Amino acid sequence: MCDFDKGGDTVTAIGLEATPQKCVFWVASNSSPEKEIGPFLESLLTKLYTIAFAKVSSKLMERENLIAKCINFAAPRIKKYRALLKNALKRCLDHLRTMENEDLTGLSEWLQRWESQQDPDLVLCRFAYDQRKSEPMRMLARLSTEPKYKSDRHAIRHSFGLVRHYIGRLGHHFRAADTLLSCVARLQEDLHDFEVRCIPRPPKSSIPTADGKTNLKSILVRMLPAKSPDHDRYQEALVEMDTKHHLSRDFLKNYKDSGWKARVHAEIQVLEHFHAGKLSFASGDPFIACSKPACFCCLLYFQHHPGDFVLPASHRKIYLNWRPPDAVPGDENSELCLRAIIDAMTKTIRRDALRQIEEKVPPKAWHPDSLTRITESAVLYDKIRESLDNDSACGSKEPLMESEHCGNSSWTRNDDLSSVFYADFSGSENGQTMPEACYSFEERSDESDGGVVL
């Protein structure tokens, strides 16, 4: 809910600190959170605490007010989803007009309703939420997965998938509000006396300029041991991939953008803030919530960090403007720790890159870095949701599925149900088995940028 715009600047992460006096919600963003995100979060939490003690007769009105508040805050994001949805709808409708299939007539008429949508944001998002389990949405899901052998992002199946994704994102505003409301009773103690504090955003840094060794051939030499017997084999495979997929051209293009700056992602800011300050997590749970699944580098940073934080789910995109946090000035242990983390990350990236070169893995089909939030089995989700709602205040002692309840992190400790809640990421389960890593620019909209393999 705090991530009110598209493109990466407003991605938000939160860590909950327990102190003897109160709970502190530490919030970080890829942009400065002090101006808009921090105040909104504080007002949202205050509103939730008020709802916790509201009369049953006023609960419905309070729900509507909360949803309206969140949708109004997310107006920039919704505006962009409208535009992206309109473009995807046009491609789908043009394709359906060329097909003589009576089974698709209803879908075409349903899509035309979306094409002519000019309702206010609240009405639009409500309609999207109400349609999430409809037959046309199921048809979109089927059309977006056939045929599987086509990976071109311009294939028509990709457009059907995007329409479903955008509708799911619009409807998620209602779903997220219901999730928060179902957790109000559990959050009463945390919200009784709380404070929202913003973590100052680290400054962006310039990218090193390209030189004579900024090319695929030189990079491969640096990745392999000196006089490696495997060099020629990898070099031959890399040349073949470069010829087919123009890797060199795309790689060097990244260095020609003078406005390209590297930044520390929000979840890493929170991680280091807790680690450096030796802060105590609420309930002893070292979990950091984030408005989007982690990128590949953030996932590796979590994995190799000595703080033993809960691993986030990841869409495994590699943002070329990602950078690690700075070491604490004058702290030798901090510098050694950071160096060890980066070394471990580099080994993993090198291993994966060499494997992809050896296997001549083609560019990976583009995938969004946000969740559609429509599970593959709506029936199963409803059963689980009902079970959770009946569990006095949203849960037992063990944290529940964060992807659907009490958060927006897409992380779960319930392995048996993980396949349901990771349906939006093909092949994902429990945050571990994810799509191949691909890279893209974070400054671009998360539904419009491309990506290729390492």
| Domains held by the chain: number | 1
| Beta bridge partner(s), residue 294 | 314
Give the whole-angstrom CA distance, residue 436 versus residue 366.
10
Looking at residue 210, the DSSP 8-state letter turns out to be P
Q: Is 318 helix (H, G, I), strand (E, B) or coil?
A: strand
Is-contact 452 363, C-beta < 8 A?
yes
Q: In this structure, is residue 176 part of a structural domain?
A: yes
Rg of the Cα atoms in the chain = 23
Q: Which two tokens stand for residue 429?
A: 């389960």
CA–CA–CA angle 405, 407, 412 (5° rounding): 65
Give the whole-angstrom CA distance, residue 124 versus residue 348.
44
DSSP labels, 211-256: -TT-SHHHHHHHHS-TT-TTHHHHHHHHHHHHHHH-HHHHHHHGGG
Closest CA to 38 of 2, 76, 91: 2
Q: Is 294 helix (H, G, I), strand (E, B) or coil?
A: strand
φ, ψ for residue 73, nearest 5 deg: -65, -30
Give the whole-angstrom CA distance, residue 338 versus residue 327.
7
Q: In this structure, is residue 106 part of a structural domain?
A: yes
Is-contact 7 443, C-beta < 8 A?
yes
Largest CA distance in the chain: 76
φ, ψ for residue 400, nearest 5 deg: -90, -170
- The pLDDT score that the predictor gives to residue 427 is 34
Closest CA to 365 of 70, 143, 137, 161: 161
Is-contact 439 320, C-beta < 8 A?
yes
Token match 């092949």: residue?
A: 427
Q: In this structure, is residue 27 part of a structural domain?
A: no
- The pLDDT score that the predictor gives to residue 210 is 85
Is-contact 65 87, C-beta < 8 A?
no
Give the whole-angstrom CA distance, residue 287 versus residue 254.
34
Burial class (CB in 10 A: 0-12, 13-18, 19+), 34: middle
Q: In this structure, is residue 19 part of a structural domain?
A: no
Contacts of 189 (CB under 8 A, 6+ apart): none
Contacts of 445 (CB under 8 A, 6+ apart): 6, 7, 80, 84
Token match 């909209």: residue?
A: 445
Looking at residue 363, the DSSP 8-state letter turns out to be P
Q: In this structure, is residue 385 part of a structural domain?
A: no
Q: What is the mean pLDDT of each run of 10 residues along the chain (454 residues)?
A: 91 96 96 91 93 82 91 95 95 89 86 91 94 93 72 77 94 89 85 94 87 91 93 94 89 79 95 96 95 95 96 90 92 95 96 91 60 49 44 37 34 29 34 47 42 37
Q: Which domain holds residue 170?
A: 34-198
Looking at residue 11, the DSSP 8-state letter turns out to be -
Token match 């639009």: residue?
A: 124
- The pLDDT score that the predictor gives to residue 375 is 53
- The pLDDT score that the predictor gives to residue 149 is 53
Q: pTM for the whole thing?
A: 0.80
Give the whole-angstrom CA distance, residue 175 versus residue 59.
16
Q: In this structure, is residue 129 part of a structural domain?
A: yes
Q: In this structure, is residue 109 part of a structural domain?
A: yes
Give the whole-angstrom CA distance, residue 399 versus residue 225.
45
Looking at residue 132, the DSSP 8-state letter turns out to be T
Give the whole-angstrom CA distance, residue 432 versus residue 302.
13
| Beta bridge partner(s), residue 194 | 23
Q: Is 12 helix (H, G, I), strand (E, B) or coil?
A: strand
- The pLDDT score that the predictor gives to residue 207 is 82
Q: In this structure, is residue 335 part of a structural domain?
A: no
Residue 251: Cβ within 10 Å count: 18
Residues in the chain: 454
